[in-house]
Amino acid sequence: MDPSDIIAPVTFLATVGIIAGSAIKIIRLRSARSERLPAEVSQRLEGLESDVQRLEAELAETQERLDFAERVLGKAREERRVGG
């Protein structure tokens, strides 16, 4: 497996996480100005927060897999260089 095959999904997840995190921060800032959010907005905010948490978990797992793949590929290259 080529490391470049893994970079695109990691980049996508990181981008989505950053965008969602920014959206949540903006919503929180706006909600801090108002005393009380409507129930619909609160539910949407909670949904966004859970989505961001899920994306963060997926990103962490993907990064762990990328680290593992890089170690395996590095080990295989080292073995070929030493053995070949």
pLDDT interval class at 25 (50, 70, 90): confident
Torsion angle (degrees, nearest 10) of CA 2, 8, 14, 19: 180
pLDDT interval class at 45 (50, 70, 90): confident
Q: What is the CA angle 74-80-84, rounded to 5?
A: 160
The rounded distance, in Å, linking the Cα atoms of 5 and 52 is 24
**pTM of the predicted protein model:** 0.52
The rounded distance, in Å, linking the Cα atoms of 41 and 39 is 5
